[in-house]
Amino acid sequence: MRIGVLTGGGDCPGLNAVIRAVVRKGIEGHGWDILGFRAGWQGPMDGLIKPLGLDEVEDILARGGTILGSSRTNPYSVEGGVDRIRAVVAEHGVDALIAVGGEDTLGVAKRLTDDGIPVVGVPKTIDNDLAATDYTFGFDTAVHIATEAIDRLRTTAESHHRALVVEVMGRHAGWIALHSGLAGGANVILVPERPFSIEQVTEWVQRRFERQFAPIIVVAEGAVPDGGAEVLQTGERDAFGHVRLGGVGNWLAEELAERTGKESRAVVLGHVQRGGTPTAYDRVLATRFGLHAVDAVAEGDFGVMVALRGTEITRVRLAEATASLKTVPLERYQEAEVFFG
Ligand code: F6P
């Protein structure tokens, strides 16, 4: 049997741990050949292949990024894209694919399975916004990086008695903002799920200044002011129709400086959150996902995604896994609100 594996969408720490687990169990447990496809769905579309043996996955467990490369290629928006995948898969005798990705990559995995190309999905995204799994790997690492940044920013903010706005990733879901904000003791946390009132944020910030402390405001890149719109870096859209967000942190810092008369600074953490070595938690979760994806292939259970429910790895249909996003519920946000101001 020959299996193809690919990583699609934004990279995230732990991808190499999945690849390693697939290769180790595929080869040593089942005697399969494993072909890596480079650059997400572009790999099987254009025949970009990297054979994966045991040597290729030595020493990659702790490495960030993905040895296969990634892209946001959508074969369904490329003329003849799916037929090209079909041809490459047939030419190389690939029996099934394991696709590691977020909502977009797994949405393609679902459609390909429906179109007769068997795929098993593995969920990844630092955003932790896939509904069918309790956690995605990459999230824990991103939260650690953001929390460490908040801890560091707090000491310089206190020295200068400034407001510090920390912009973190999170397009539609504020999980990174919520968890890093809670862990870092932020005085305001703003998430895409709850449009914010600039007057209320100003009040919380002022209250903090009045107590002679420097306020830390954590804002997700997709957060929007009441009646406002997302702040965009460019108007361009990727192959899945997503715009590039970024800029709400700078906007907020300027508004707060004007409204409070105090100095404010913004720090955009950006791709730092996605780089570098995965935490132990993410390495373990990614490894378990890889092992269970191999089991699904071995059982011929295609069109599924492996998922974490509690402490167990289960499987859900890709259709269900990609049907909706997991956003921050009101009750979780209200827990954090206790610490605002
Ligand atoms: O989907 C993961 C993510 O990191 C989002 O949080 C962010 O909006 C987006 O990717 C950034 O994408 P890119 O790396 O293409 O700029």
Domain boundaries, the chain: 2-137+278-321, 139-275
pTM of the full structure: 0.95
Structure confidence by residue, pLDDT tens digits, 82-98: 999 999 999 999 999 99
Does the beta carbon of 220 lie inside 6 Å of ligand 1? no
Show the tokens assigned to 220: 């997700």
**What Rg value do the Cα atoms of the chain yield, rounded?**
21
Residue 197 CA to residue 320 CA, distance in Å, equals 34
In the block, which residue shows the tokens 């008369």? Answer: 261
How much distance in Å is there from the Cα of 273 to the middle of ligand 1? 10
How much distance in Å is there from the Cα of 156 to the middle of ligand 1? 28
CATH architecture of the domain formed by 139-275? 3-Layer(aba) Sandwich (3.40)
Residue 161 pLDDT:
96
How much distance in Å is there from the Cα of 238 to the middle of ligand 1? 11
Domain 2-137+278-321, CATH: 3.40.50.450
Does the beta carbon of 48 lie inside 6 Å of ligand 1? no
How much distance in Å is there from the Cα of 11 to the middle of ligand 1? 8
pLDDT tier for residue 244 given thresholds of 50, 70 and 90: confident
Backbone phi and psi for residue 5, each to the nearest 5 degrees, phi listed first: -130, 140
Average pLDDT for 179-200:
98
**Model confidence at 137: pLDDT above 80:** yes
**Cβ neighbour number for residue 115 with a 10 Å cutoff:** 13
127 among known catalytic residues: yes
Annotated catalytic residue, options 127, 129, 140, 282 = 127
The set of residues, in sequence order, having a beta carbon less than 8 Å from that of 315 and lying 6+ positions away, is: 292, 296, 301, 304, 305, 306, 307
Does the beta carbon of 126 lie inside 6 Å of ligand 1? yes
DSSP 8-state symbol, 273: G
Fold: same for 2-137+278-321 and 139-275: yes
Strands 232-237 and 243-245: antiparallel
Cα within 13 Å of Cα(310), Cβ side: 2
Does the beta carbon of 102 lie inside 6 Å of ligand 1? yes
Does the beta carbon of 169 lie inside 6 Å of ligand 1? yes
Structure confidence by residue, pLDDT tens digits, 210-240: 999 999 999 999 999 998 777 777 667 788 8
Structure confidence by residue, pLDDT tens digits, 315-336: 999 999 989 999 999 999 999 9
In 3D space, the residue among 321, 324, 326 whose CA is nearest the CA of residue 110 turns out to be 321
Residue 237 pLDDT:
75
Residue 264 CA to residue 156 CA, distance in Å, equals 12
In the block, which residue shows the tokens 């054979």? Answer: 51
In 3D space, the residue among 140, 185, 126, 119 whose CA is nearest the CA of residue 158 turns out to be 185
Average pLDDT for 268-276:
97
Does the beta carbon of 170 lie inside 6 Å of ligand 1? yes
Does the beta carbon of 40 lie inside 6 Å of ligand 1? no
Number of the ligand 1 atom closest to the C-alpha atom of 9: 1
In the block, which residue shows the tokens 């993410």? Answer: 282
How much distance in Å is there from the Cα of 10 to the middle of ligand 1? 6
Residue 184 CA to residue 151 CA, distance in Å, equals 6
Number of the ligand 1 atom closest to the C-alpha atom of 246: 8
Residue 235 pLDDT:
65
Residue 85 pLDDT:
98
**Measured CA distances, 148 to 215, 277, 336 (Å):** 16, 14, 18
Residue 60 pLDDT:
98
In the block, which residue shows the tokens 């000491």? Answer: 155
Number of the ligand 1 atom closest to the C-alpha atom of 245: 8
Residue 332 CA to residue 308 CA, distance in Å, equals 20
**Model confidence at 341: pLDDT above 90:** yes
Structure confidence by residue, pLDDT tens digits, 4-48: 999 999 999 999 999 999 999 999 999 999 999 999 999 999 999
Residue 156 pLDDT:
97
Max CA-CA distance within the chain?
A: 69
Q: Nearest residue CA, atom 16 of ligand 1?
A: 244
Structure confidence by residue, pLDDT tens digits, 275-286: 999 999 999 999
pLDDT tier for residue 270 given thresholds of 50, 70 and 90: very high
